[in-house]
Amino acid sequence: MMIGRTLAHFRILEKLGSGGMGDVYLAEDTRLGRRVAVKVLPAGFESDPERIRRFAREAQAASALNHPNVATIYEICEADGIHCIAMEYVNGQTLGAKIGEVPLRVAEVLDIASQIADALDAAHAHGITHRDIKPGNIMVTPRGQIKVLDFGLAKTGPWIWRLCRSRRSCRRPWRRRSTFERGRTDRSLSRSRTTSALDTFCCSSITVSI
C-alpha cells in the first residue's frame, strides 16, 4: 500500500494511474511544499536490471528537455528499495478523455497538434524519439496547454538527423515521405510511427468535429 507512505521527501497522497512502465501517484514534496507526480517502478521489478535501466532512461530522456509542452522531471531516486521518478504534476485530463467528451473544433485540433509537434521537434533535436505518442500519454490543462508524458519507450542517440539531408528538411512534412522511403530502418520506422500517431489524432479528431 503506497498511499500515506513517504518516499525520500515525497509523501504519497493518491493514485493517479497505472501503465506498463509504472504506477503514478500524486504526492507532496515536503521540502518545497508543492504537489508533484511520482512514478514508481512496478512491484516485482525492483531487482530486474533491465527494467531499472529502462526506468532510469525514461527520466534521463525527459530531463534532457526544457520545453513548455513536456512535463518537467525533478529527480530520480530510490527509497526503501523502491525506484521512483518525481515529475511535474499536470492538472488536467488526458487527450483521450478530452476527445471522448465533446467534438473538438478544427482550430482546437490544430492548436493541440501544433503543441505536440513542437514538443516532438524539440525531442528530436536532442536525439530523442518518444515512440509511444498516444492520447493517453498527453495531458491537456484547463488553459489548453499540452504536456507530453511517459518517455518510457524513448530511444536516444544522434541518428535522427542523419535520416535527413538537413534539420530543415526534417521539419518539412511534405518531404518526410521521400526521406523515409530511402531505406526504412527500425529507427526510421520509430520516428515515422510518431508522425503517424500525430496524423491519426488530427484526422480522427477533425472527423469527429465534422
Q: Does pLDDT of 18 surpass 70?
A: yes
**pLDDT number for residue 199:** 57
In whole angstroms, give the CA distance from residue 63 to residue 73.
5
User: Tell me: domain 93-209, CATH 3.30.1360, correct?
Assistant: no
**pLDDT-derived band at 116, boundaries 50, 70, 90:** very high
Rg of the chain in Å (alpha carbons) = 18
Q: Are 64 and 56 in contact (CB under 8 A)?
A: no
Q: Are 115 and 101 in contact (CB under 8 A)?
A: no
Q: Does pLDDT of 130 surpass 90?
A: no
The residues carrying an active-site annotation are 132
For 6-88, which CATH superfamily applies? Phosphorylase Kinase; domain 1 (3.30.200.20)
pLDDT, one tens digit per residue, over 134-192 is 998 899 999 999 999 888 777 776 544 444 444 444 443 333 333 333 344 444 444 44
**pLDDT-derived band at 196, boundaries 50, 70, 90:** low
CB contact set of 178 (below 8 Å; sequence gap of 6+): none
pLDDT, one tens digit per residue, over 31-60 is 999 999 999 998 778 778 888 888 888 888
Fold agreement (6-88, 93-209): no
In whole angstroms, give the CA distance from residue 62 to residue 123.
8
Cell of 48: 530486474
pLDDT, one tens digit per residue, over 71-115 is 999 999 999 889 999 999 999 999 999 998 888 899 999 999 999
**pLDDT number for residue 57:** 84
pLDDT, one tens digit per residue, over 60-71 is 888 888 999 999
In whole angstroms, give the CA distance from residue 164 to residue 18.
37
Pairing of strands 6-7, 128-129: unpaired
Domain boundaries defined on the chain: 6-88, 93-209
**pLDDT number for residue 21:** 76
Record the pTM.
0.73
